[in-house]
A = this chain, B = another copy of it.
Amino acid sequence: MHDSKEPRPHTGRRRNEAARLAILDAALELLADADGAPVSVETIARAAGVGKQTLYRWWPSKGAVLLDALTDRAAQDVPAPDTGSLREDLRQLAVATFEAAQRRPSAPALRTLVREAARDAHLAELLRVFTESRRAAVRVVLERGRERGELAADRDVDLLVDQFYGFFWYRFLLGHAPLDRSAADRLTESLLR
């Protein structure tokens, strides 16, 4: 009986790292340029100078490639501020989140990705996991503030988290109003009033 963890050493040609990078670069580029319009697998493969099969050999679906392109190549750092002041922590989170939502190429790429996720249940689930860590960061800040007594005991943390991200996604996806520093300040103020 073989060792189940390493039944056999790898033989044959190895994965082409250059192709992997070319695919992710092309995907991010197209995702950003599309800004909402759909991005086809054909187009990604062609732009990367790669066969479609190479793409499907390493990713299970188009959505997985797109998400990977966004997270690997344009991963925004999630700040976890801990200044000792709830108001300041939350303000920093809002500013960082809103600023990330202006940056190219990740911002238009994320917008496209969310639109793709509306039709792709698999991608929607991946995206849900991706965003969960951001939600957790806001929750941590709020609960630390509550322990310090900066948040009234009757305030609902889940409600505040959803107000924070609901507002953000609403403006980010509709684009009808700015997500600038002023908006971040006023949102923070409104939530903690």
Compute how far the CA of A160 lies from the CA of B193 in the bound complex, rounded to whole angstroms: 13
For residues 109 through 150 of chain A, which have their beta carbon under 8 Å from a beta carbon of chain B?
A: 114-116, 118-119, 121, 128
A70 to chain B, nearest CB (A): 17
Kindly report how many copies of this chain are found in the complex they form together.
2
User: B118–A190 contact, CB under 8 A?
Assistant: no
User: B166–A186 contact, CB under 8 A?
Assistant: no
* Contact A190/B119 with A166-B171, A167-B166, A169-B166 known, Cβ cut-off 8 Å: no
The majority secondary structure among interface residues of chain A is helix
User: A177–B158 contact, CB under 8 A?
Assistant: yes
Compute how far the CA of A170 lies from the CA of B165 in the bound complex, rounded to whole angstroms: 8
Q: CB of A156 within 8 A of chain B?
A: yes
Proximity string of chain A (93-114) to chain B, C-beta cutoff 8 Å, 1 when within and 0 when not: 0000000000000000000001
A144 to chain B, nearest CB (A): 19
Residues of B within 8 A of A163 (CB): 163, 166-167, 187, 190
Which among A36, A128, A174, A177 has the greatest number of chain B C-beta atoms within 10 A? A174
Binding site for B on A (CB under 8 A): 36, 38, 114-116, 118-119, 121, 128, 155-156, 158-160, 162-163, 165-171, 174, 177, 183, 186-187, 190-191, 193
8 A-B pairs within 8 Å (CB atoms) are namely A36-B121, A119-B119, A158-B177, A159-B183, A163-B163, A163-B190, A166-B171, A193-B193
